[in-house]
Amino acid sequence: MTTLIDLLDLGKRYHEGDSERVIFHNLSLNIRHGELIAILGKSGSGKSTLLNLVSGIDIPTSGKIIIEGADITRSTEQERTLFRRRHIGFIFQFFNLIPTLTVGENILLPLELNGRLDERQSQNAYSLLEEVGLLDRVDSFPDRLSGGEQQRVAIIRALVHKPLVLLADEPTGNLDSDTGRQVLDLLERLVRQHGMTMILVTHSQEAAGIADRIFKVQHGHLIEQPQNGVKGQ
């Protein structure tokens, strides 16, 4: 597999009053096409910051982020916004569905924003919705769905425009254990089936178990962990 993402000597610092907080220091990682990476770490360790950097929402203090040959750290804010819209899919802990849009309207939104909404793309989106057992809820609003159903819709919304990278931030963190397991199984199946690349941020060792490689954020670095479990979470 060829490399899709290169994180090269990333540094990230924030000023808090008169002090400086170091989040990352010379962090490096390469991620291959079709690879599923899990990032573990304590609350506040920088897991979500890493997703913000990869997506171009935030920029590093130093170092480079290269995705599919493009150095997004050299891009303007508008260029990063367009790159994110076209090539990044997001799944969040609290679903982030738009409450005033139906299920169908929510999943078609990325296509509409990218100017790619047509009959064929709509049918593909509805086929994905059928695959997760929610086609009969296409005209429902999010508040009529259970948490697990909302997260399944959020997964389809993240996949529908076939992004280069899928970023999942604690995708089962707001679900009970049984529903979380079902959603995790679904997410892994769809990601593998569509040959997608995903970075999964989680505090759950069980969730991290679906990954090809597991890393722990520790003292500003990523430390690769054994596949048979990570201690000290």
pLDDT single digits (tens) 124-164: 999 999 999 999 999 999 999 999 999 999 999 999 999 99
**Statement: residue 166 has pLDDT above 80:** yes
Number of H helices, E strands in the chain: 7, 10
Q: 231 pLDDT band (50/70/90 cuts)?
A: very low
Mean predicted lDDT score pLDDT of the chain: 91
CATH top-level class of 35-60+74-225 = alpha beta
Angstrom distance (rounded) from CA 42 to CA 64: 25
pLDDT-based confidence at 17, cuts 50/70/90?
confident
- Band (85; pLDDT cuts 50, 70, 90): very high
| Residue 124 vs residue 17, higher pLDDT | 124
Band (pLDDT 50/70/90 cuts) for residue 193 is: very high
Instruction: Tell me if the pTM is above 0.85.
Output: yes
Q: Residue 44 pLDDT more than 90?
A: no
pLDDT band at 233 (very low <50, low <70, confident <90, very high): very low
Beta strand segments in the chain, E: 3-16, 19-32, 36-40, 62-67, 70-71, 88-91, 165-169, 197-201, 213-218, 221-225
Asked whether the predicted pLDDT for residue 188 surpasses 80, the reply is yes
Whether 23 and 49 have beta carbons less than 8 Å apart is answered as yes
Whether the pLDDT of residue 196 is over 90: the answer is: yes
Q: How far apart are CA 1 and CA 35, in angstroms?
A: 9
Backbone angles phi, psi at 137, to 5 degrees: -105, 15
Q: How confident is the model at residue 80 (pLDDT cuts 50, 70, 90)?
A: very high
DSSP 75: S
H-run or E-run covering 229: none
For position 228, what pLDDT does the model report? 64
Mean pLDDT of 55-67: 95
